[in-house]
Structure 1
């Protein structure tokens, strides 16, 4: 742990601990212990105890929840960055998206906070874990429609038929 200016302690999160944390959270999500956007109290306790047994790091619920929130924020930004783009590659050596400078320049105009991903992105394995943690609770825009978008997609129209009389 590292002391902050206000003498509070910040958790240190090496990559292997982030993977462990994600795996523990996914286990709780799959067990149905995420009733809304976060794990419930029992789940946070389960994650905390299991995390300590594996890593010997005694992080409290607030530190774990802060990590959850940071991962979710980065995951949403990463998804927004890649949204609507095809033909992107992944460079495992550089740990980033393979794309032209023009692509990066255009994306960074829209998402300036994504600059950190130009040199160190979210690898596909971690992205899959984050999808498992957050995909069903985050507003991603994947299933939105408005009159200005043109004709309603047939799969969305069928869902609405169930509610019409």
Structure 2
């Protein structure tokens, strides 16, 4: 039987800051090794733990969060692409739709409820774009 310390060790509560830290580490990894080299989660774990000052029970915590972020990013982008013009609040970087619109989308995909409840910050949107798209901003030919 697992002790209460083991149960506490296994749970990691992701904050906005820790998600941004993970994105930063992953983006740094991609810049160094390119997109064709898979992430070495066992190498990334100690660096992440050092920054957040929390010991993870496994590198799988990082891999699971990455997989979850990728799904959220794809869902976020699909919703944002439907928001051209009317439903996008540029100054806030948020989707701004009626309750009816949200309810319809949630009926189509229950995961939309999570996005409606907590939309990604502008910083996270930028980190996700860098992490999950093939384009990397290098300052050349940027408008």
Give the TM-score category using the shorter length.
0.7 to 0.9
Paired with 2:6 and 2:112, the residues of 1 have a C-alpha distance of 26
How many Å apart are 1:52 and its aligned residue? 2.0
Size of the aligned set, in residue pairs, is 128
TM-score normalised according to structure 1 size: 0.64
Q: Is the 8 A contact 1:81 1:111 kept in 2?
A: no
How many Å apart are 1:90 and its aligned residue? 5.8
How many Å apart are 1:122 and its aligned residue? 1.1
Paired with 1:91 and 1:118, the residues of 2 have a C-alpha distance of 18
Which shows bigger deviation, 99-108 or 111-120? Answer: 99-108
Q: Is the 8 A contact 1:91 1:98 kept in 2?
A: no
Look up the match of 1:161.
none
Determine which structure has the larger helix proportion and give its number: 2
Instruction: Indicate the structure whose relative CO is greater, using CA pairs within 8 Å and at least 6 residues apart.
Output: 2
Looking at CA atoms only, which structure, 1 or 2, has the larger radius of gyration?
1
1:47 is aligned to 2:51 = no
Q: Is the 8 A contact 1:89 1:99 kept in 2?
A: no
Q: Is the 8 A contact 2:89 2:96 kept in 1?
A: yes
Structure 2 unaligned spans of 5+:
135-143
Look up the match of 2:68.
70
1:3 is aligned to 2:7 = yes
Where has structure 1 moved over 4 Å in runs of 4 or more? none
Paired with 1:68 and 1:123, the residues of 2 have a C-alpha distance of 17
Structure 1 unaligned spans of 5+:
137-165
SS in 2 for 1:133: helix
Look up the match of 1:56.
53
Q: Cα 1:91–1:3, aligned 2, differ >3 Å: closer, same or farther?
A: farther
Q: Cα 1:2–1:128, aligned 2, differ >3 Å: closer, same or farther?
A: farther
SS in 1 for 2:33: coil
